[in-house]
Amino acid sequence: MGSRNNIPFVSWRRLRKSFYYAAKGIEHTWKYEQNFRIHVLAAIGVFILAQLLNVPLSEQVILAVVIGAVLGMELINTAIEHVVDLVVKRYDEQAKIIKDAAAGAVFVFALTAAIVGAMIFIPHILQLLL
């Protein structure tokens, strides 16, 4: 018995469009959000340092996960800020709290990522120095 629904399991056209829209969101965030650019440049520096210190692949995977999470949170923070700005057209204390909390979430995870990075890099740096 055939399906009455002729929608394909995967629409390559829709999938391609979704990647395009995601790339546009990343592009917008790169262009207008200073902190996103700083995080991306820091990530590049981290991966270069990991190669120079011969950090094992398993530890590089951990770095990639925390860096990806920070960048993802920056994108979510940008989306939240734009939604708040779209809905609230004037200064509003509750809107400020929402935006500050979203920025705080990024900060907490960025700090966590920095701690993870330190836990991974410090032993490798000490090994070089000693």
- CA proximity to 76, closest of 22, 14, 20: 22
Nearest 5°: CA angle at 95, between 92 and 99?
140
Q: pLDDT tens for residues 1-52?
A: 555 667 888 899 999 999 999 999 999 999 999 999 999 999 999 999 999 9
Total number of residues shown for the chain: 130
**CA end-to-end distance (rounded Å), the chain:** 72
Contact 46, 71 (CB under 8 A): no
pLDDT for res 8? 83
Q: Report the catalytic residues.
A: 74
Q: pLDDT tens for residues 70-122?
A: 999 999 999 999 999 999 999 999 999 999 999 999 999 999 999 999 999 99
Collapsing DSSP to helix, strand or coil, 5 comes out as coil
Q: What is the pTM of this model?
A: 0.89
Q: pLDDT tens for residues 46-65?
A: 999 999 999 999 999 999 99
Tokens 């820091």 sit at which residue? 42
- CA proximity to 114, closest of 36, 35, 46: 46
25 contacts: CB under 8 Å, gap ≥ 6: 75, 79
Q: How many C-beta atoms lie closer than 10 Å to residue 75's C-beta?
A: 18
pLDDT for res 114? 98
